[in-house]
Chain A
Amino acid sequence: MSAAAAVVEPPRNDLLSWITTTDHKRIGILYMLTTLGYFAVAGALALVIRTQLARPENSVVGPHEFAQLFTLHGTAMIFLFIAPFAIGLANFLIPLQIGAPDMAFPRLNAMGYWMFLFGGLIVFAGAGTSEGAAAAGWTSYAPLSEIKVSSGIGQDLWIVGVFLVSVATILTAINFVTTAFIYRAPGMTMWRLPIFTWEMIATSLLIFMAFPALAADLLLLFVDRHLGGHAFDPAYGGNAVLWQHLFWFFGHPEVYVMILPYFGVISEIIPVFSRKPIFGYTGLVLAAFAIAGLSMGVWAHHMFTTGAVNNPFFSFMSFLIAVPTGVKFFNWIATMWRGQLTFPTPMLFCMGFLMNFLLGGVTGVMVASPPVDFQAHDSYFVVAHFHYTLGGGSLFAIFAALFFWWPKIFGVKLGETLGKWCFWLLFIGFNVTFLPMHFLGIEGMARRVSTYPALGNLPILNLIATLGSYVMLAGAVVFAVDVIASTLKREPVGDDPWGANSLEWATSSPPPEHNFERLPPIRSERPVFDLRHPELDPEAGR
């Protein structure tokens, strides 16, 4: 299966070739490395936040610096790391998984990456201006973000930067859907697509519907700030709730843009290390589309305390999302059932994902009940909830993906010993950081406060959370060491070091520029498994 290396001229590897590349694999790598850079910055900001909150009435940073810290932390984690990492991974994987030589629109793909990179840099550039970076939170609620209140250019740079990122995201989503629909290799029917590719199709459809609302919201705010508009100002016939409607019409589907790809990652990895097919392939695909569809009708559960929306409707729609999410969990467990389980680092991170995300899902159902949300909203309970989904969930799946596909992407395996250290430090650190936040919220700690009084259990719970965040830092450092150590060692891996299933493992590691020398026959969603086991019927049980 390996590429006949002598025949193929090696691709150029200088800086210019990376800047001008339209190869989906290189764009995917650029995306992933860039998002990891933004992740490092956003994580460092979080550590400053936790250091400030380690003790009551602390003064490591002042309130204005603190507001910039949590604004940039949220903006970077959401817009510049968790969502675009999936875009980078999908860029690398989708053509390989469907047996295509590249994406449908390679130059559009490159344009998306560069818009994303500079969009992020523009947001951060605000930190260099005299009034500092944007400081109205990643949600940037109007009228707080209007020019009367937030006059600094940092807010404008935030609008422009996030706008660029959102347009880049829409362009890339068009590319994903087109590629997956029409560039599939012979034999790769829709019902043989790997689950990850399916999840990216669902994600892309969500992006089509959600991101234009964000772009419109940002444009309205810009018009308000600089062209005399009054979209969000009731004194001139505007509506302050309009910002929230448009923002969350984007913002809740965005939550699933940040989790569906990682459901795909988990669905790819668990069968490999269980040595079994995914249990309910059709059920998982249908659940992804059910989640995507329902997520378009739940946005105002972020607005239960506004008194301006129909709470019961949005509450019921939000509860319903628990059903397809449950379907996914049961399918993963059924895939493990009676398998031959092994736990190398990628599988460990999948198990961490399952354990953490479950709690985030449960608290998600809790806050979908308006009477619970009347206490939890904008408190640390909600901070705990969404960090369990995005940190305990998506972040753990990102590490699972890094350890799993690293050998395919770079041709070397990450070290297992350091990998396990990385997992346990992150898993323990994460739970020590975020479990206490549930109790902080119930006890009355609001989110986005730069300091808090020495009352009740607030000081001790905050101190525990801060210590946990330093343990997470240690886990991230171990990961960096693992990357450096394995890169220096350069032990080559074969085409398929894990005994995996999908088509990307049928080519060399790393794959040649045109992806495949030749394709194996595709008779199920596990063509590489079928190749290893010609004695089995690929259609069995389907």
Chain B
Amino acid sequence: MHGQTWPSVATTQASVLASDWRIFTIAGLAVAVLVWGLILFAMARWGRARRTDALPPQFRRNNALEITWTAIPLVIVCALFVYTYHAEADVEALATHPDVRVHVNAYRWGWTFAYTGGPTIDGTAADPPQMLLPLGRTTRIELTTSDVTHAFWVPDFLFKRDAIPGIVNRFDLAPDKVGTFLGRCTQFCGLQHAHMTFTVRVVPPDAFDRWVHGGAS
């Protein structure tokens, strides 16, 4: 959270994710403030009523009211679902011809980043590896694990995906901000889980090309 918008983002996919965050945060807080308000109002308004022998009115049930407070939330969650459905489809859409392909393999406790037609980088918890990504291009990540379940998370990308034995998970990243971002494993995987980190460095495309073909950073 260092950017101008909230939450701050570093990929085009993350812009979609960030709007989803904003919509749900605003909708959630609006509902929460309304209901908190009703509770506190009731406490303040009728908490001072003197407790006498006379009972307060013993009313109950009101079909119209009960149908209303069932129907309105139903409409709200349906609208939220339609929005969330499209947002997820946008984020998970895979490019037909990604510019770069990286096979990411997670293991206890480190990461291997194998670039198709390029170098392979490996690093462990003691010496975390760095993934280089080109600015403004689409990179396809193919995610696997060689032992237990791990997860690949870059908080600035607002995105994570699990690395599960027997499964290859694919997703695209299109960075739109130059910089170095911290990534880490988020599925508990044993002793060094806390230190199973990596960094992602986003560089201009020409610098990336020189690195992929020449091996120099």
Contacts and interface: CB of A to CB of B under 8 A. Distances in A.
Interface of A: 63-64, 67, 136-137, 141, 143-144, 149, 233-235, 239-241, 274-283, 305-308, 311-312, 315-316, 319-320, 322-323, 326-327, 329-330, 333-334, 336-343, 351, 354-355, 358-359, 362-363, 365-366, 369-372, 374-375, 377-379, 442-444, 446-452, 455-457, 533, 536, 540-542
Given A351-B43, A371-B84, A375-B21, A541 B194 contact: no
Among A235, A362, A371, max chain B CB count under 10 A is at A371
30 contacts: A63-B191, A67-B190, A144-B188, A144-B189, A149-B148, A149-B190, A234-B167, A240-B149, A306-B164, A306-B169, A307-B167, A311-B88, A322-B73, A339-B46, A340-B49, A342-B51, A351-B39, A358-B32, A359-B32, A366-B24, A370-B84, A374-B160, A378-B187, A444-B153, A447-B186, A448-B188, A533-B55, A536-B58, A541-B58, A541-B61
A143 B148 contact: yes
Contacts of B59: 276, 338, 541
Contacts of A456: 1-2
A442 B1 contact: yes
Interface string B138-157: 00000000011101010110
Nearest to A232: B165
B183 to A, nearest CB: 9
Interface stretch (B64-72, B116-124, B203-211): B64-72
A198 to B, nearest CB: 16
Interface in B19-52: 20-21, 24-25, 28-29, 31-32, 35-36, 38-39, 42-43, 46-47, 49-52
Given A369-B20, A371-B91, A323 B147 contact: no
A399 to B, nearest CB: 18
Contacts of B186: 377-379, 446-447
B202 interface: no
A136 B57 CA distance: 55
A143 B147 contact: yes
Contacts of A379: 153, 186
Contacts of A369: 20, 24, 80, 84, 87-88
Contacts of B192: 63
Contacts of A362: 28-29, 31-32
Given A141-B187, A144-B189, A375-B160, A339 B29 contact: no
Contacts of A536: 55, 58
B24 A372 contact: yes
A305 B158 contact: no
Nearest to A66: B194
B17 interface: yes
Given A283-B66, A355-B36, A365-B24, A239 B160 contact: no
B46 A450 contact: no
A278 B61 CA distance: 9
Interface residues of B, number: 80
Contacts of B177: none
A235 B182 CA distance: 32
4 tightest CB-CB pairs across the interface, nearest first? A234-B166, A444-B155, A371-B20, A449-B194
B7 interface: yes
Nearest to B48: A341
Contact of A275 (B32, B55, B80, B171): B55
Contact of A374 (B39, B159, B188): B159
B106 interface: no
Contacts of B52: 340
A31 B158 CA distance: 44
A241 B42 CA distance: 47
Contacts of A306: 162, 164, 167, 169
Given A443-B1, A446-B186, A63 B194 contact: yes
Contacts of B161: 305, 307, 374
Contacts of B84: 315, 369-372
Contacts of B1: 442-443, 456-457
A83 B154 CA distance: 35
Given A277-B60, A278-B60, A379-B186, A329 B91 contact: no
A87 B70 CA distance: 30
B194 A450 contact: yes
A137 B60 contact: no
Listed residue (A149, A330, A542) with the most chain B CB atoms within 10 angstroms of its CB? A330
B93 to A, nearest CB: 13
B3 interface: no
Nearest to A237: B166
A279 B160 contact: no
Contact of A371 (B57, B88, B167): B88
Interface centre among B7, B32, B186 (most CB of A within 10 A): B186
A375 B46 contact: no
Contact of B17 (A233, A283, A337, A374): A374
A341 B43 contact: yes
Contacts of A305: 151, 160-162
B42 to A, nearest CB: 4
Given A141-B187, A311-B88, A378-B187, A241 B167 contact: yes
Given A369-B84, A371-B20, A149 B147 contact: yes
A385 to B, nearest CB: 11
